[in-house]
Structure 1
């Protein structure tokens, strides 16, 4: 079968990304619903593809619509995904760290703690690896969230978690520092949300223990 020549050559990379995302999503649906009929798969695939197709059409109208693409795919504007390492670190911990106190006031603290504990050199090395990985996934048409839920991403996440956990065990002073930071974050959250009762003395140790447990589970 002869290779197809794109009608709009300068847009070939963008259309290739759209095509790969649609194909990938369809394959995922077939695996997720192996007993579904052809009509059911077609309906689900169309639901998944509608946003992608809308973006493809809208992006063809004018250059000013390019941010629509940049919001969807991995190759985004500079600065939109600065803290890749912190995001990767927390992604595998989120199932264990549920609850408003974590998401509303502790996730930024825990993400920043990776840099503090591992140091600039190791942190920058992980940042470089993740950026290279995301670029490769983007070339395959994967979105940021799809890339984060892939097996290669999980391997990087687990490596970061293992190193973080080992460093925590090596430096008990950091553990005490993190407890103090959790205490401060809860106090700040309470002051901004006086209607919500937060038992700080009780929650600091419970939160710290839950965090340590999540590290052990995912390392």
Structure 2
């Protein structure tokens, strides 16, 4: 099992729950920080002392307070740690459920697990820690697996995303056509954009454009 764990979490009750979970798994060498900047300092110090951490468990959101900090989110922290100790096993423990964020963490920063905070998340955290230690397979909470596996979200192209963003701003198809022309985005004709909007509504089973925008926002596409 892991020997040395760093917990980055600014809510005391959640941090204590994570610490208890580690103890139940036989892990007693752990440190806790409430600020992202402190996590970086701990990582660097541990490497300098030739006693590096072998697991990071971090939240993504950290509430700002009177202290001035350089890093303000878990995602920024993971990106920075990835430069310092790229081999460090990383588990994200967060309420965030935005597809683009989760995919970036897996694809770009090679996190090992994503546990969604929920009613049964402690048991899933135990499973994630055990799986990350014993195998190379990535772990993701059952509640948000659909975000990564969603096929329709992977079929859309750049123009589709831009159309969705313009619809979210309340622009009409005529306005979107004008915007596409000024940005040299193809296809830019109103008829082509109308076809794309209809195709998107069919793909995501949306009743109307407002419903389409809501669905794609929930999936983290826009």
TM-score (norm 2): 0.28
Q: Which protein has the bigger strand share?
A: 2
Higher relative contact order, structure no. (Cα contacts within 8 Å, ≥ 6 residues apart): 1
